[in-house]
Chain A
Amino acid sequence: MTSIRLSAAEQKYIIESAECDFRSDGRTCEDYRQIEIETRNLPNTNGSSRCKIGKTEVLVGVKAEVVDVDIHAPTQGRLNISVDCSATASPEFAGRGSETIEQEILSVLNLLYSSIDALNLEDLCIVKGESCWLLNIDVLYIQCGGNLFDAASIALKAALHSTTMPNVSVSGEGIEMELEISDDPYHVWKLKTSMCPICITLYQIGESFAADVSEEEEECSTGYVHVGVLSSGEVSAMEKSGAGNMEPDALLEMIEAAVRIGEHIHQQLDKNLQAECTTATL
């Protein structure tokens, strides 16, 4: 979300384009730019992915470690997401300049995965009440070109899909319990990502709304809505941000649009991830 200064004339052009449903690059308000996705690109991780939407490029790495279970949830594993906007993405992100946007992205990702159904956390439990897997998820932005939230959520789902978890054998009981983590790269299990949500962010521009906005369009927007959509088309989360009012009817339209877009992206994403899996095993 780097700040771009626009002239009144440029803003008028962008707002009127959005209202005509023909944006400055020819897309309609619901069209996404082509999404490039690649998984298993970081060798030191359990799972990783790279997602590129237009100019925005984000890397996600998933690393698993065995930790003590949280006493409030003794039968579940844990997720620890952290977001980093690299200074190479924008000079504004040097030093502490990126803190605000990182917090915002982090809160949206945490919102999406706060539900126990998103990623079955019970699968991550090793010994009930004792040990579980902690997934350390790092999201790194290399380039920013608008639509940071959606890119992160898509990359996150892809990274979790590609994650391979080692098997753990438990021996002994009580204090003498020992966990042996298998080194065998073929004796692994995969996480179930069918319920992982994708965030579709819709920005209100003038009298209408648009998805996958560029930085210039973001500058002309008044408020935006994050909608977490599952592959089944259900809405799992919603958050309205930014300064600007929204009509309740407009909000309902935005949610319906987000569901349409989200279902389509899930379908295409799952197809690509499956194709990558089959080429990897060949």
Chain B
Amino acid sequence: MDLVRAPYKRTRVLATQGEEMEQHIVTPGDVITQNLDFMKSHGTALNQENICATVAGAVYKVDKLVSVKGVNNRYRGEIGDVLVGRVTEVQQKKWKVDCGSRLDSQLQLTSVYLPGNVLRRKTLNDELMMREYFTEGDLVVAEVADVSNIDGMLKLHMRSNKYGKLPEGVLIKVPSVLIKRSKLHFHRLPCNATVILGNNGYVWVGPHFSPDQPIEPLTMTSRETIARLCNVIRALAAYGVQLFDTIILTAYDISMKYKVKELLNAEVMEHVAQESYEHSLHQNL
């Protein structure tokens, strides 16, 4: 691969995966249908007897329900979402966490388990020691407990020992629309790495870890695995492929014929994304 080259013309691998039948790409104001029998869902509005799109994205028609799913939205949380965030502020009795939505989320001191899986009433001493648990800059994984009606601010909780501070690893930010909603977000992959696909589009890749246990020093093989997974996830995200554990593993296997650093090249990224997508389509059929 040449170091210096002319710009690469990226081709489309696919638009966002949709479970529904036809998909049209619309921009705000485009008329979707003039048939008023359809029920209007997100991203649509009634305008002079036409159903029009209000956001830029793909049209989804399920039976009589029409909606437009925008692609470039900020993450809007829902109760039960698992997300990866970065602590931005330590305030009185709560932390503020950045998770890529319009407002920083709130993590109350009362909503966390203390180290050692202890759930007890937090004392004044705990309040003073908040920075010992999470300080500014820390990466945390938590679940959405509540969404405020007024401004959409998320309230997070860590009421399980699988949530908490993340150890050594890499954070990758992808558009939140690419994270497929699934029951599992923590994926302990067979290649000795863990991938956490946060619903907010923040993906964490790192070694296997258990809560409250220090991880062993990383070997070269684990660094290679983590780097390869990172590059593969970035390649899939660059071509708009929805991310879930099986497609990441497929892309990882497809990428094995390249060196890890070759996965940064535009042609290789396209090849990996294209093959993984086709492979996943065959598996589904």
B167 within 8 A of A: yes
* A10-B171, A33-B264 known; A24-B6 Cβ under 8 A: no
- Give the distance in Å from the alpha carbon of A24 to the alpha carbon of B138 in the complex: 18
B169 within 8 A of A: yes
A221 within 8 A of B: no
- Give the distance in Å from the alpha carbon of A52 to the alpha carbon of B4 in the complex: 10
* A16-B218, A27-B261, A34-B264 known; A10-B2 Cβ under 8 A: no
B254 within 8 A of A: no
Q: Is A26 a contact partner of B170 (Cβ separation < 8 A)?
A: no
Residues of chain A with a CB closer than 8 A to B165's CB: 7, 9
Residues of chain A with a CB closer than 8 A to B224's CB: 22, 26
Q: Is A36 a contact partner of B5 (Cβ separation < 8 A)?
A: yes
Q: Is A22 a contact partner of B168 (Cβ separation < 8 A)?
A: no
B231 within 8 A of A: yes
Q: Which of A16, A22, A23, A268 contacts B3 (CB 8 A)?
A: A268
A32 — nearest CB in chain B belongs to which residue? B3
Q: Which of B139, B220, B263, B265 contacts A9 (CB 8 A)?
A: B139
B226 within 8 A of A: yes
Residues of chain A with a CB closer than 8 A to B265's CB: 34
Q: Is B261 a contact partner of A26 (Cβ separation < 8 A)?
A: yes
Residues of chain B with a CB closer than 8 A to A50's CB: 7
* A20-B223, A24-B170 known; A36-B88 Cβ under 8 A: no
Chain B residues 49-86 with CB under 8 Å of chain A are 86
Chain A interface residue bracket vs B: 35 or more
- Give the distance in Å from the alpha carbon of A265 to the alpha carbon of B3 in the complex: 7
Between A6, A20, A24, A268, the greatest number of chain B beta carbons within 10 A of the residue's beta carbon is seen for A24
Interface of chain B, helix or strand or loop or mixed?
mixed
B155 within 8 A of A: no
* A5-B86, A34-B264 known; A264-B3 Cβ under 8 A: yes
B230 within 8 A of A: yes
What is the CB-to-nearest-CB distance from B44 to chain A, in angstroms, rounded to a whole number?
Answer: 30
Q: Which of A16, A23, A268 contacts B227 (CB 8 A)?
A: A23
Chain A residues 68-118 with CB under 8 Å of chain B are none
A276 within 8 A of B: yes
B228 within 8 A of A: yes
- Give the distance in Å from the alpha carbon of A276 to the alpha carbon of B5 in the complex: 10
A138 within 8 A of B: no
* A22-B224, A24-B227, A25-B231 known; A34-B1 Cβ under 8 A: yes
What is the CB-to-nearest-CB distance from B25 to chain A, in angstroms, rounded to a whole number?
Answer: 24
- Give the distance in Å from the alpha carbon of A9 to the alpha carbon of B227 in the complex: 16
B18 within 8 A of A: no
A282 within 8 A of B: no
Interface string of A239-282 (1 = CB under 8 A from B): 00000000000000000000000001100110110011000000
B259 within 8 A of A: yes
Q: Is A10 a contact partner of B3 (Cβ separation < 8 A)?
A: no
* A20-B220, A23-B227, A26-B231 known; A34-B266 Cβ under 8 A: yes
Q: Is B231 a contact partner of A10 (Cβ separation < 8 A)?
A: no
Interface string of A33-64 (1 = CB under 8 A from B): 11111100000000000101010000000000
Q: Is B227 a contact partner of A26 (Cβ separation < 8 A)?
A: yes
- Give the distance in Å from the alpha carbon of A28 to the alpha carbon of B3 in the complex: 14
A17 within 8 A of B: yes
9 contacts between A and B (CB under 8 A): A9-B165, A9-B167, A24-B227, A26-B224, A34-B5, A34-B266, A37-B5, A268-B4, A269-B4
Seed contacts A7-B166, A25-B260; 12 additional CB < 8 Å A-B pairs: A7-B137, A8-B137, A9-B166, A9-B167, A10-B169, A10-B170, A13-B168, A38-B7, A50-B7, A265-B3, A269-B4, A272-B5
